[in-house]
Amino acid sequence: MKLKPLPKKDAQLVQIVDAALAEATRKSRKWLACRIGCTQCCVGVFAISQLDALRLKHGLEALEHFDPTRARAIRKRARESVSRLAAEFPGNLKSGILADDEASRERFEEFGNDEPCPALSPTTGECELYASRPMTCRIFGPPVRTEEGLGVCELCYDGASAEEIAACELVTGTDALEGALNAEAERFAQRSGETIVAFCLAGE
């Protein structure tokens, strides 16, 4: 099945977010522990948007042309992951869409916490779809503001003061753009709601 195209401004979104990440990384200096092989953030299921899912599928399709062996391995890991997660999946197993009711959201909080991402190489510890990774992955590491306050990876900013951490805050200003592009991706996919990486990459 031919993939739907990515929204035209997705490349612009990625460029803005990556530039903001580069600036936060520059400010963070030695406090940012993220390196290839540090895979703590690659273990544990998290929700992704339809825009993220479409970008990942394009990344996998490109890899299939460049390195079909690696691409097949990723798809195999994704299908194995879906098989392991299916019994407790708080959503629609056919579509891979997460349910949005309160009880399902609470179940998702404790769901798949030990499950490695299918895009994570088990031999090198690198993301094999790094250029196409979801937004959650792109902004993880530097301080990010949420409703709960300023959150950071527990492995980063060891010894930094609250003021020093705040000075490294990652600010993208892309919420409106990302929301509009995700709505476009949902129209392309003819489905709405969030999914997970394993369901996204396990398909045909």
- Tens digit of each residue's pLDDT (9 = 90 or more) over 43-53: 999 999 999 99
- pLDDT band at residue 204 using 50, 70 and 90 as cut-offs: low
Whether the per-residue pLDDT at 65 is higher than 80: the answer is: yes
Residue 157 lies in a domain: yes
Q: Residue 76 — pLDDT band, cuts 50, 70, 90?
A: very high
Query: Under a CB-based contact definition with an 8 Å cutoff, are residues 131 and 123 in contact?
Result: no
What's the pLDDT score for residue 171?
94
11-64 pLDDT per residue, tens: 999 999 999 999 999 999 889 988 888 898 999 999 999 999 999 999 999 999
Question: 129 lies in a domain?
Answer: yes
- Per the CB < 8 A criterion, the answer to whether 12 and 148 are in contact is no
Domain assignment of residue 51, given as a range: 10-201
* Number of independent structural domains in the chain: 1
Domain membership flag for residue 116: yes
Q: Does a structural domain hold residue 3?
A: no
The verdict on residue 2 lying in a domain is no
CB of 84 within 8 A of CB of 61? Answer: no
For residue 153 the two structure tokens come to 């990876």
Whole-number average pLDDT of the chain: 94
Specify the pTM. Answer: 0.94
- With respect to residue 36, please indicate whether it lies within any of the assigned structural domains: yes
Residue 1 lies in a domain: no
